[in-house]
Chain A
């Protein structure tokens, strides 16, 4: 990994693994599940060669708790899975959030509920953004839409996790995970600039008071205080780290909102709509939590009148669009589910319908 600016053709899942290692991740605990398997296989092959540890756990539950232990011990650590497996990780992620342990969780989504299917889906949006597990918590959720972003965002996820002492999630899907695209791999992370972890449980060496990594507070006042303190960090994340891409939005009256794989389809539909003279733009949330509310407000200030949320599910992110729009514009939804991808034509049809309704003054 000497050449830090190499441009290579790689599969999305493998890029997540390669970029994670370059971000300084040396510990991976996981369990096999389609369609994220290439990530684990890549880690199994490469991590031992750079002095890291790959361990296939007996279950997703064990894997996330190994992540918890390794994070408590101060390591950069991650796990990856796909939808049904991520449900099992919910418990451990809640404990990590409650104990302020940084770590990265990758979900290469497939269709659900239940065992669902193995084709791409975005039906875990609620799970990812509304707290994966019990209790009052959030975590940064980053949604790549290209293989390049797989690299960029997992790199960022590790930094956000360490900076804010929180688990962070990459919410990808089977399409981005399985596709190959050219990617410029990030350089090796300079680990000397990482935040210090004086709270880590790596032995007192008889030089300090003992560290306790814990999420139990039997005193309601202490638990409330801890949650207040954590939400102050969340407020800072919301303030500083909303990320999105805007395309053709300067004069847009209709804004299509889509992330991940759905945004690739929506992008074509928006261009086609422009070609037909419709004032249409694309807002692509990169952070799903925090949700890019500021960008939506800016678009409203600029005259956006209609928002169309396009998703690979039955309508989940559309709730966040509505919350951000807060009644200042109309919000509608179009989605396919179960692993079925909409065509750009289907999305274009929706945009045209909205445009016609606007002309008729409805």
Chain B
């Protein structure tokens, strides 16, 4: 990935384990981020949660914010995330991570607070918390994993399951005439004034993963800069519950997920020339006198 400024080193626990395999004069090009603990994740082999966990970890390392970062883990496959990160962590109730993050951020505005949530957590049981944290413009960073299924409970229909997708609770395929349509979160949140930045990325290839990391880094940097609420949606796979090899899951993602969930930037107030979400909101409401009150102050 982009060359870090400081030399790459192994975390202490790996020095013991594999340090002897590195010869004198050899330099490390890529290694585990230091904010990751010496814990093997509970993710299935080939699960893309691990990739996104690492991207978040690398961003925390590169921004040098481990000591002031507080992460909020969701309910779902990432529920144990508090064991994987060396920064302070809180385990939230299902869907409530944005509310918990709000509480932390309001108490310690100088902390960097992120929530990491799956589709059931963020787009079903926690939709209200998500939409309102976004519209309040909470200065938090949200990483949203959209893999179109409930993984932890064994493969039930998610709010983002595709039309006709077979799951444990849509065994004949998602019948949109009965259960309705998938939620496109990035498009939805982009309409809200409190939102500074929303981008949808994926992680099926080297190029896409590098793009995903850029987006995640921007979402953290926005918080540090006080720009506003930022969310990165990562279109991801669930090989186990999709019933595919990790490789075939990537193929299915490219064929079916990406046409329904197009990649791209859905809102970026900085790219639009504003200092923050508040400025963009003011401009959007330029014909509303009451919304303009206090503008000069």
Contact with B along A181-225 (1 / 0, CB 8 A): 000000000000000000001111111001111111000000000
- How many whole Å from B58's CB to the nearest CB in chain A? 17
| Contact (Cβ within 8 A) B86 A204 | yes
A62-B132, A66-B100 given; A53·B106 CB < 8 A: yes
Stretch in B89-97, B158-166, B201-209, B270-278 with 4+ CB within 8 Å of A: B89-97
- How many whole Å from A227's CB to the nearest CB in chain B? 17
Contact with A along B176-217 (1 / 0, CB 8 A): 000000000000000000000000000000000000000000
Cβ–Cβ < 8 Å partners of B129 in chain A: 58, 61-62, 65
- How many whole Å from B74's CB to the nearest CB in chain A? 11
Q: A54 — nearest CB in chain B belongs to which residue? A: B106
Cβ–Cβ < 8 Å partners of A71 in chain B: 103
Q: A66 — nearest CB in chain B belongs to which residue? A: B103
- How many whole Å from A29's CB to the nearest CB in chain B? 7
A201-B70, A212-B82 given; A77·B103 CB < 8 A: yes
Residue of A59, A61, A69, A75 touching B102 (CB-CB under 8 A) = A69
Q: How many residues of A are in contact with the other chain, CB < 8 A?
A: 40
Stretch in A36-44, A91-99, A265-273 with 4+ CB within 8 Å of B: A91-99
Stretch in B19-27, B61-69, B238-246 with 4+ CB within 8 Å of A: B61-69
Cβ–Cβ < 8 Å partners of B265 in chain A: none
- How many whole Å from B135's CB to the nearest CB in chain A? 9
Q: A52 — nearest CB in chain B belongs to which residue? A: B106
Q: A70 — nearest CB in chain B belongs to which residue? A: B103
Residue of B68, B99, B107 touching A62 (CB-CB under 8 A) = B99
Q: Does A348 contact B (CB under 8 A)?
A: no
- How many whole Å from B113's CB to the nearest CB in chain A? 9
Cβ–Cβ < 8 Å partners of B68 in chain A: 203, 205
Q: How many residues of B are in contact with the other chain, CB < 8 A?
A: 35
Q: Does A27 contact B (CB under 8 A)?
A: yes
| Interface hits, A54-81 → B, CB 8 Å | 55, 57-59, 61-63, 65-75, 77
| Contact (Cβ within 8 A) B88 A201 | yes
| Interface hits, B113-136 → A, CB 8 Å | 128-129, 131-132
Contact with A along B138-174 (1 / 0, CB 8 A): 0000000000000000000000000000000000000
Cβ–Cβ < 8 Å partners of B80 in chain A: 216
Cβ–Cβ < 8 Å partners of A65 in chain B: 92-93, 96, 99-100, 103, 129
| Contact (Cβ within 8 A) A72 B132 | no
| Contact (Cβ within 8 A) A213 B111 | no
| Contact (Cβ within 8 A) A201 B93 | no
Q: Does B87 contact A (CB under 8 A)?
A: yes
- How many whole Å from A161's CB to the nearest CB in chain B? 15
A69 to B104, CA, bound (A): 5
A72-B104, A206-B66, A216-B79 given; A201·B91 CB < 8 A: no
A122 to B83, CA, bound (A): 43
Q: Does B85 contact A (CB under 8 A)?
A: yes
| Contact (Cβ within 8 A) A74 B107 | yes
Q: Does B108 contact A (CB under 8 A)?
A: yes
Residue of A66, A68, A74 touching B106 (CB-CB under 8 A) = A66
Q: B96 — nearest CB in chain A belongs to which residue? A: A65
A202 to B90, CA, bound (A): 10
Q: Does B232 contact A (CB under 8 A)?
A: no
Q: Does B101 contact A (CB under 8 A)?
A: yes
Residue of B67, B90, B92, B96 touching A212 (CB-CB under 8 A) = B90
A66-B106, A67-B103 given; 19 more Cβ-contact pairs under 8 Å: A58-B128, A61-B128, A61-B129, A62-B102, A65-B129, A68-B99, A69-B102, A70-B103, A70-B106, A72-B103, A77-B107, A91-B96, A92-B93, A201-B104, A202-B88, A203-B108, A204-B86, A212-B82, A214-B89
16 residue pairs of the A-B complex, CB under 8 angstroms, read A53-B106, A58-B128, A62-B99, A62-B132, A65-B100, A66-B106, A68-B103, A70-B104, A73-B104, A99-B90, A204-B86, A206-B67, A214-B82, A214-B91, A216-B79, A216-B80
Interface residues of B (CB under 8 A from A): 66-70, 72, 79-80, 82-83, 85-93, 96, 99-108, 111, 128-129, 131-132
A-B interface, 3 closest residue pairs, ranked by CB to CB distance from nearest: A69-B103, A65-B99, A69-B100
Interface residues of A (CB under 8 A from B): 27, 29, 53, 55, 57-59, 61-63, 65-75, 77, 91-92, 95, 99, 201-207, 210-216
